[in-house]
Structure 1
């Protein structure tokens, strides 16, 4: 049976048919960059062999069906740049093979489930920016030591930045900007030494700028503007190497 169905970059319209669930041998399914509308059919959960599901850049509406959590073999789910709403069902993070979740540029609300920590220990990318999440940031993200990017900006996340983020030692891009985060910048962020982009701007962060951020020797962008940070600018110590190149 058919294993690879690629329909991307066309002008297909209408809904994703529920009969898609009958294609039991599918491993790769690409609907991206079309004009598809309507809701995601729950029958997608019947594609037990699916490895990659991509429906980004369409006009899909409604919520993510919890049945997507039945896809235990899926490694990547890309639903970004649609008009999806509602909360994210915790079930979709249950697949131990899941290494990439792209849900950015939708209108998701509520919390990011703590079950996100059930994703594969080899997780590479989590993109949730430009939604309407209102919860705290789950500390379970700290288990993903292989993740290279974490995008949480342009939401309404509250509470503190979890110190566990410092355990994500492969991060290259860390985006917390344009939220409602409070508390101090955790010193543990300095452990993400490969970071090129640390985006903390437009929040309600307080306290001083930790000198430990100077451990990020490859830093290209450090943005902290429009917060409530205090103290002196640390021109002495490890962070001084960054300050000469960045506008804080």
Structure 2
């Protein structure tokens, strides 16, 4: 069953077509990689799915509901969450406080209500930062700041996660560790789409790869098929390749 259906998505900024008639179906329990050269439209697709950008043409359905015109808050409430490529913790709050903000009804003005300490511990434990809850974000190593971003998304109780550059700035050992944690999410029933420039980490993690180039669909297939695809190799020629 398709959890996410993107049909004919087009996004224009004035005369610039950032995404052109792009379609994507994600099945329940899949981990799908969305890749493409810089400027190919990957983040724009995520922004359209999450309601950060208005869709110019096309439709987006999540769990059978049309979410094309929904606000970001409405989309998150329905069970779809995004881990941004920018880490933006609130430095006034501890790690636990940052996670708790994402469990509050609709406001970040106070810390009244929201998840219990036990629930916050569980969200943190799912990404292995439960021993950092009292620390301040600026005390964390980079990899744990990225894990905090994921814990904040987990605190919204999503059925599906969009992960935007989760491996950015990590070394190989950290990438392997985070990949294992992401694989555990899938074992617990979560569906995911991952955008990342680290091809090694991404290809080992995902079941299927979808390639965007200049806002257009270019190819889809297994990691092995995509790595050997001549059209994909040509698209990446300007960079360092796959």
TM-score (structure 1 length as normaliser): 0.28
Q: Select the structure with the greater relative contact order (CA < 8 A; seq sep ≥ 6).
A: 2
| Larger-gyration structure (1/2) | 1
Q: Which has the higher helix share?
A: 2
Q: Which has the higher strand share?
A: 2
